[in-house]
A and B are shown apart, each in its own frame.
Chain A
């Protein structure tokens, strides 16, 4: 906000300088009949738009945003929303799905190589799973209701007709606006409780060198989270903050923002959200279809010991060591 205010101040100063510089020089010109030309000092629309992104002036009503007379960038935003965003979004989402399908066909489901041991170990506590599913459910609702704004009139409108589509879209708009709060709450929880385990470590380089667990005869070492999961965490955090900030700007229109800021907020919101959806599609794939034994970590909270050994060996070693340490002193007490 401070930066925006400063930029606006600079533009305002430039306007004043421009008027001061151009005023006196042109004011003395005479018209064709020898009389002073009343338009000599008028800045033409073309000149104003060459100098500034939009033509603004004074307005008699309290609604300050009405002082913008001509804002050609509206058409640019229209082009972004109707062409770039629609094609870009379709390519990103369908492309991600195609890539995941290709990965499934080439790699298949990554099995637990040693088979299930039958022994379970706790991977995510109840509160951790609650935080994850709060964010996940919010994300799916936000994603679908958001995509409706861009793709609904092409995909859904022809199917259910304009009246029903309008009702659905109106409801979707309110659902989108209010689900944002549970999403932000979940995002904050996730950011806090998983922060320490997502800091990058030396072992992440080894994990990458060993092909990230995608090469069958190589073992990729990892702590509680491997590099892939850490990247999902950090990208989600970045994208989550970006969509939240831009989203709240859109939720409170024209509070400290002008028309260009609102358009920019929408562009950021839409572009980041689409990339976020692509990222989460990959996250959903590897957590369900792509890998045996992965879903139960967030499902029941407990994973098979052999799965943990193959994907998070260091974390498993730590957990087992902790368990032993807890058991030993109590055993000692009995001896005494």
Chain B
């Protein structure tokens, strides 16, 4: 079984934020929720790099471990899904997440965050809703994965900076790119998310 991962080749990212827009549009997420975002390191300085970041669907996902109601779990493809019917909005997944991925529809004072929302790898929800159903879409967004498609953010990335797919295949694509062009600033977040970098 494939192990699904994200990889952002920061040397190709042009900070166009199209992945953010595509994610919002495809999943029709409410205002204030950003499943994906682009962070610019060293903005305006030599060596500036932008990295598109969302849930990395970690190995040994810390959000799943700390969830007090065990509503977050990895699928057999390594995609980390969650069940909004069980979520109590405690915010612990955000504290544990190394990538700031979990989002909440409300501000969160007095514990009123609402149900957590995050990138589902466009694989629908982790609840009881039928895959591809309207109920599933309303709660979790698109289920492209069930149709054999990859997340839209990566699929429509104009510079093919953001890669999604089987971890070994996208790591190989990145390795070949680095060898051909002679440089690469690394697979941002991989060490923290998957306990392994990509050696070239």
Interface residues of A (CB under 8 A from B): 19, 23, 26-27, 31-33, 37-46, 48, 55-61, 63, 65-75, 77-78, 81-82, 148-150, 152-153, 157, 162-163, 165-166, 169-170, 173-174, 176-178, 251-254, 259, 262-263, 266
Contacts and interface: CB of A to CB of B under 8 A. Distances in A.
Interface string B119-140: 0000000000000000000000
Name the residue in B47, B191, B197 with the highest tally of chain A Cβ atoms < 10 Å from its Cβ.
B47
Contacts of B109: 251-253
Contacts of B30: none
Main SS class of interface, A: helix
Contacts of A69: 39, 41, 51, 53, 99-100, 188-189
Contacts of A58: 39-40, 43
Contacts of B43: 57-58
B49 interface: yes
Interface in B157-200: 182-186, 188-189, 191-192, 197
B189 A166 contact: no
B14 interface: no
A72 B85 contact: no
A57 B37 contact: no
B88 interface: yes
15 contacts: A44-B185, A44-B186, A58-B39, A59-B39, A60-B17, A63-B34, A68-B100, A69-B41, A69-B53, A153-B68, A166-B85, A166-B86, A169-B69, A173-B88, A259-B95
A74 B92 CA distance: 10
A66 B34 contact: yes
Given A82-B65, A173-B88, A37 B37 contact: no
A149 B68 contact: yes
A73 to B, nearest CB: 8
B96 A77 contact: yes
Contact of B69 (A19, A150, A157, A178): A157
A42 B10 CA distance: 10
B191 A46 contact: yes
Contacts of A177: 110-111
A32 B11 CA distance: 17
Given A82-B66, A153-B68, A61 B37 contact: yes
Contacts of A262: 95
Contacts of A63: 32, 34
A80 B173 CA distance: 36
B99 A71 contact: yes
Contact of B66 (A46, A78, A162): A78
B111 A74 contact: no
Contacts of A67: 39
B47 A42 contact: yes
B12 to A, nearest CB: 11
Contacts of B92: 81, 149, 266
